[in-house]
Amino acid sequence: MPVELLISRPATGKTKRCIQKVQSVLSLFPLSTVWVVVPDRLQAAGFRRRLAESGGALGVRVGTFGDLYRSILEQARKQI
């Protein structure tokens, strides 16, 4: 799946669009794992809350760049 960046001013619908995109991708590829990367833990918690309020989605990992980095390193170690 390609990387998509949503960049805009505050309160322009980025989170809503991202949730719609995540749910759309997972409806087409239900066994996929989708990463949503946000700047900090507070925003990660907020995104998870809004995702749950919109019906949720299995297979979504919400975290910071550090979380993504650690996950990549863990996966690389399993390959060795």
The pLDDT tens digits for 17-40 are 999 999 999 999 999 999 999 999
Comparing C-alpha atoms, which of 76, 69, 59, 68 is closest to residue 24?
A: 59
User: Residue 68 pLDDT > 80, yes or no?
Assistant: yes
Q: What is the pTM of this model?
A: 0.83
For the chain, percent of residues with pLDDT exceeding 70: 99
Contact 35, 63 (CB under 8 A): yes
Contact 38, 57 (CB under 8 A): no
Binned at pLDDT 50, 70 and 90, residue 74 comes out as: very high
Mean pLDDT estimate for the chain: 92
